[in-house]
C-alpha cells in the first residue's frame, strides 16, 4: 500500500468534492478495485469519507473537513519536494525548512498514516554522490536557485574544458539538475539553451534584468535529450577487443555501462579457453587506452591499429620504468 497514494486520494476529494471511484482511479492511474481499497483504508484511519449513492453519487468528505496542512511558509512548501533528498536539501540551504515541513505534514495526517509515513522514512536513505569522489564545491548553488525562481539573469565567469577555458556569460536560469551527486544548471545564453556544471562557475552576480521562461520548456525532457546528445557526441569510434573470462567479469568495475552492454551484445567465442571477441564504443585513442589498460593481461586490442600501437607503447614505457626487458627479465637477471 502506498501512503503517498492515500494522501493523494484525500487531497483529491478535498479539492474536487464528490468524486466517483472511477474518477479517483483515473486520476491516480490505478484500478477501480484499488481505489475502493484506498477509500476503505482512509475510513479505517478515521478520515470522514462517505459514499453518496445514485447516478450523480460518489465519495466525498464530511462538510468542513480539511487536512491540517496549515502554517507552512513558502520556503517550507518548496522544501516538501526535497523531503526525500536530505543531501540535496542541505546543498540548497533548506535543510531546516525540510525538517519543519516534514513535521507539519506528519501532524496533518491521521495517526495511522503518520506512523506509516514515519516507518517509510526510516527505511529509505538516498546518497546521491558516486563512490571514490569528493563532493564538489558549489558556493553559487543557492544563488542560482533563487535566480531560477525569481526569473532574474545571472552574470557568470565560467571555466569550460575547451579553449578559451574562461568565458563570461549572461545566463537566464531555467532549472537545476542533480546528476550522480553533481549539480548542473540549465540556462539560456546567447540565443541557445545550454548546460553548466555549477562547480565550474568561478564568479556569479545576480542582475536586475528579468526574463520569461518559455511556457513550453520542460526541464525533464530537456535533460533526457541532453543526455542522448552527450552519449552520441562522446563515442566517436569503435574498437575490436578480445577478453578473457576474468576480464569480462571485471568489466563492470572498470568501464562504463555502455561498454559492458556492447560486449554483451557483440561477444563471439574465439578458441576454447573462454576468450571472446567484441566491438565496443570508444571516445578517443588516449581515453580508450587508459580505460582498457585497467584490465591488464585480460584484454587484447585487435583493432584499430592506432589503439593497438598506443597500448603497446604504454606497456613498453611501463616496462622500461620498472627496468624490465621485453622478455620480462630485470637488468640484474642472469641466464641460468
| Confidence check: pLDDT of 87 > 90 | no
pLDDT at 109: 63
Asked if residues 252 and 306 have their Cβ atoms less than 8 Å apart, the reply is no
pLDDT at 106: 65
pLDDT at 224: 93
Predicted confidence (pLDDT) per residue in 234-275, tens digit: 888 999 999 999 999 999 999 988 999 999 999 999 978 999
- Per-residue pLDDT, averaged over 21-41, amounts to 88
Asked if residues 147 and 206 have their Cβ atoms less than 8 Å apart, the reply is yes
> Of 65-69, 98-102, 298-302, where does mean pLDDT reach its minimum?
65-69
- Per-residue pLDDT, averaged over 42-61, amounts to 84
- Per-residue pLDDT, averaged over 106-128, amounts to 68
Containing 244, the helix (H) or strand (E) segment is: none
Strands 201-210 and 182-189: unpaired
Three-class SS state of 149? helix
What band does 277 get if pLDDT is binned at 50, 70 and 90?
very high
pLDDT at 100: 67
| Confidence check: pLDDT of 201 > 80 | yes
Number of H helices, E strands in the chain: 13, 11
pLDDT at 41: 86
pLDDT at 336: 46
- Per-residue pLDDT, averaged over 283-311, amounts to 95
> Of 46-50, 215-219, 310-314, 317-321, where does mean pLDDT reach its minimum?
46-50
- Per-residue pLDDT, averaged over 86-104, amounts to 71
State the SS3 of the chain: CCHHHHHHHHHHHHHHCCECHHHHHHHHCCCHHHHHHHHHHHHHCCCCEEEECCCCCEEEECCCCCCCCCCCCHHHHHHHHHCCCHHHHHHCCCHHHHHHHHHHHHHHCCHHHHHHHHHHHHCCCCCCCCCCCCCCCCCCHHHHHHHHHHCEEEEEEEECCCCCCEEEEEEEEEEEEEECCEEEEEEEECCEEEEEEHHHEEEEEEEEEECCCCCCCCHHHHHHHHHHHHHHHHCCEEEEEEECHHHHHHHHHHCCHHHHHHHHHHCEECCCCCCEEEEEEECCHHHHHHHHHCCHHHEEEEECHHHHHHHHHHHHHHHHHCCCCCCCCCCCCCCC
pLDDT at 53: 84
Instruction: Give the count of beta carbons closer than 10 Å to the beta carbon of residue 160.
Output: 13
Q: Is the peptide bond before 195 cis (omega within 30 degrees of 0)?
A: no
pLDDT at 54: 79
Rounded Cα distance between 138 and 323, Å, is 45
Asked if residues 273 and 298 have their Cβ atoms less than 8 Å apart, the reply is no
Conformational region of residue 195, where left means phi above 0, alpha means psi within -120 to 50, and beta covers everything else? beta
250 CB contacts (<8 Å, ≥6 apart)?
A: 295, 298
Q: What share of the chain is helix, strand, coil (3-state, %, to 5)?
A: 45, 25, 30
| Confidence check: pLDDT of 164 > 50 | yes
Rounded Cα distance between 327 and 1, Å, is 66
pLDDT at 226: 93
pLDDT at 48: 87
Amino acid at each position: 500500500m502506498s501512503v503517498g497514494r492515500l494522501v493523494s486520494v484525500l487531497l483529491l476529494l478535498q479539492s474536487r468534492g464528490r468524486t466517483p471511484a472511477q474518477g479517483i482511479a483515473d486520476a491516480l492511474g490505478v484500478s477501480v478495485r484499488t481505489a475502493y481499497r484506498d477509500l476503505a483504508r482512509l475510513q479505517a484511519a478515521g478520515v470522514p469519507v462517505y459514499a453518496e449513492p445514485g447516478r450523480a453519487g460518489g465519495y466525498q468528505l464530511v462538510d468542513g473537513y480539511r487536512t491540517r496542512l496549515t502554517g507552512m511558509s513558502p520556503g517550507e512548501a518548496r522544501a516538501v519536494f526535497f523531503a526525500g533528498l536530505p543531501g540535496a536539501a542541505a546543498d540548497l540551504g533548506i535543510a531546516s525548512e525540510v525538517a519543519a515541513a516534514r513535521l507539519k505534514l506528519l501532524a496533518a495526517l491521521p495517526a495511522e498514516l503518520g506512523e506509516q509515513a514515519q516507518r517509510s522514512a526510516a527505511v529509505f536513505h538516498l546518497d546521491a554522490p558516486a563512490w571514490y569522489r569528493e563532493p564538489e564545491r558549489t558556493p553559487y548553488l543557492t544563488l542560482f536557485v533563487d535566480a531560477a525562481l525569481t526569473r532574474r539573469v545571472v552574470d557568470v565567469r565560467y571555466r569550460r574544458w575547451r579553449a578559451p577555458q574562461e568565458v563570461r556569460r549572461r545566463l537566464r536560469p531555467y532549472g537545476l539538475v542533480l546528476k550522480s551527486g553533481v549539480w548542473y544548471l540549465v540556462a539560456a545564453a546567447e540565443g541557445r539553451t545550454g548546460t553548466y556544471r555549477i562547480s565550474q562557475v568561478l564568479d556569479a552576480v545576480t542582475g536586475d534584468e528579468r526574463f520569461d521562461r518559455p511556457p513550453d520548456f520542460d526541464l525533464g525532457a530537456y535533460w533526457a535529450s541532453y543526455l542522448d546528445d552527450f552519449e552520441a557526441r562522446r563515442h566517436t569510434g569503435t574498437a575490436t577487443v578480445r577478453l578473457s573470462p576474468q576480464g569480462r567479469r571485471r568489466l563492470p568495475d572498470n568501464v562504463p555501462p555502455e561498454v559492458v552492454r556492447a560486449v554483451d551484445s557483440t561477444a563471439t567465442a574465439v578458441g576454447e579457453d573462454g576468450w571472446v571477441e567484441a566491438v565496443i564504443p570508444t571516445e578517443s585513442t588516449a581515453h580508450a587506452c587508459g580505460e582498457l589498460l585497467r584490465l591488464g593481461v585480460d584484454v587484447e586490442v585487435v583493432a584499430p591499429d592506432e589503439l593497438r600501437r598506443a597500448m603497446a607503447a604504454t606497456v613498453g614505457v611501463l616496462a622500461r620504468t620498472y627496468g624490465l626487458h621485453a622478455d620480462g627479465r630485470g637488468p640484474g637477471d642472469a641466464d641460468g
